[in-house]
């Protein structure tokens, strides 16, 4: 496959995936009939997007029955929870919070 450009711009519709360590983005081209994929990556160009909580509610007090609101502000957290709520969630006292 030949190309006349050495620049590819990647757009992440759901944001850059959360990763605590540097990752190497992999680009692939796939034939329309799905019979073949061509992969491209460059180890010189890495991406990192650590999950950082910028603010959260502290000192939450409520009854034993629950029903308290807990607020967390973190870029990408909502997308991460929506994409895989089984593995990505917020829990308080071993109880998973409703999103």
Q: How many domains does the chain have?
A: 2
Q: Is residue 13 part of a domain?
A: no
Q: How would residue 71 be classed by pLDDT, with cut points 50, 70 and 90?
A: confident
- 37 and 23 share one domain: yes
Lowest mean pLDDT among 7-21, 56-70, 71-85: 7-21
- 68 and 89 share one domain: yes
Which range marks the domain in which residue 29 is found?
Answer: 19-49
- Residue 27 pairs in a beta bridge with 40
pLDDT at 87: 84
Q: Is residue 64 part of a domain?
A: yes
Secondary structure of residue 73 in the 3-state scheme: strand
The answer to whether the Cα torsion of 15, 17, 20, 25 is positive or negative is: negative
- 84 and 67 share one domain: yes
pLDDT in tens, 9-57: 777 776 667 776 777 777 788 888 877 888 877 777 777 777 777 888 8
* pTM, rounded to two decimals: 0.47
CA distances from 69 to 18, 28, 53, 92 (A): 25, 43, 17, 11
**4 pLDDT above the threshold of 60:** no
Q: Is residue 9 part of a domain?
A: no
């Amino acid at each position: 496959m030949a190309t006349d450009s050495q620049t590819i711009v990647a757009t992440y519709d759901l944001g850059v995936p959360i990763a605590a360590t540097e990752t190497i983005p992999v680009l692939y081209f796939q034939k329309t009939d799905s019979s073949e994929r061509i992969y491209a990556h460059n180890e010189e160009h890495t991406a990192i997007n650590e999950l950082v909580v910028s603010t959260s509610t502290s000192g939450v007090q409520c009854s034993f029955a629950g029903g308290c609101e807990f607020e967390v502000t973190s870029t990408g957290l909502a997308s991460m929870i929506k994409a895989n709520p089984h593995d990505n969630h917020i829990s308080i006292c071993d109880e998973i919070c409703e999103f």
